[in-house]
Amino acid sequence: MMENVFTTVRYPLSREEVSAVLADDGGLADEVRDRIQHLARQHLDGSPGYLLFAGWDGLDVAQGEMFTLAVSRMLGRLLPQDASGSLLRRVTDRGVRLEDGKTGRRYSESRDGGNLHTDAPHTPPPLPDYFAMYCVHQAETGGALCLVHVDDLVQRLPEWAVRTLQQDFHFDQMLGTVKDPTVVRPILSLDPGDTRICYLRGYIEIAHRRPEVPDLTTDQREAMDRLDALLDDPTVQQRDRLRPGEIAFFNNRSLLHGRTAFKDRRDQKRLMLRTWIHRPRTDASPVPH
């Protein structure tokens, strides 16, 4: 297991830079945007697929939300995260347990660990290229982020599992009564120079329990079992904890992420602010992978 992995991609943001972003101060805010975009090309579209900025931890929740939205927009268009069109979501324990299979329940509302996944696998396109997490409050114990890169998985999976995971799977949209309750897409996509992954097994299992959806085949279940075994392997994972005031960006097409189980403080819950970011495609910019 690789720990403390954020050290090499943690960049400082001064109080003045944070204030400029919040105030939309054209001069200094533009400098911050240019710097973030340059580092995103280096670390998000390249290696290791994630990037952190250590800001000022004196922001309250409302200021943290404004800062997260403003910095996220520097990398692309924000995507809605629920049926009401919310562009920012508070990730905190709401007592949810995903395994009960109830529609509308989400991993981000629990305190459980494991369950490595990509964000928004259940939503119609476009999928987020990146997602951001701003740490308002950290847990008393646990809550470390766990990351696995798709290239490490493809190298270790048997060929039959790689082929099977490129088949179509149903992902439940978790929205209750909608015309099309599932979206259909492969878990793995291996285009030349662009290996992508889209995965959250719980949403797949829920979708394939629907009477109108075909059952998962034996090969599909066994391929996901192989994938899950690798995701749970500590030697494949990279881990670290966000500190209050830090914002991290992750490549949602090449990284699976999860967390260790956590315990909240008595007087304060772990609180992260999340955005989903779609990067516009241009001839001059590389396609995120």
DSSP the chain: -EESGGGGGEEE--HHHHHHHHHT-HHHHHHHHHHHHHHIIIIITTSSSEEEEE--TT--HHHHHHHHHHHHHTSSEEE--STT--S-EEE---S--GGG--TT--GGG----EEEE-S-TTSPSSPPSEEEEEEEE--SEE--EEEEEHHHHHHHS-HHHHHHTTSEEEEE---SS-SS-EEEEESEEEETTEEEE---HHHHHHHHTSTTSPPPPHHHHHHHHHHHHHHT-TTT-EEE-PPTTEEEEEETTTEEEEE--EE-BTTB--EEEEEEEEPPP-TTSPPP-
Q: How far apart are CA 105 and CA 202, in angstroms?
A: 11
Bond from prior residue into 48 cis (ω within 30 degrees of 0)? yes
- Which two tokens mark 55? 């800001």
Q: What is 2-153+237-278's CATH number? A: 3.60.130.10
Which pLDDT band, with edges at 50, 70 and 90, does 177 fall under?
Answer: low
Exposed / middle / buried, residue 258 (Cβ in 10 Å: 0-12, 13-18, 19+): buried
pLDDT beyond 90 at 25 = no
**Residue-level pLDDT at 37:** 96
Pick the more confident residue, 163 or 104: 163
pLDDT beyond 80 at 98 = no
Give the start-to-end residue ranges of the domains of the chain: 2-153+237-278
- Taking only the tens place, the pLDDT of each residue in 183-212 is 999 999 998 888 999 999 999 999 999 999
**Residue-level pLDDT at 97:** 58
Does the pTM surpass 0.75? The reply is yes
Which pLDDT band, with edges at 50, 70 and 90, does 107 fall under?
Answer: low
- Are 186 and 169 in contact by the 8 Å Cβ rule? The answer is yes
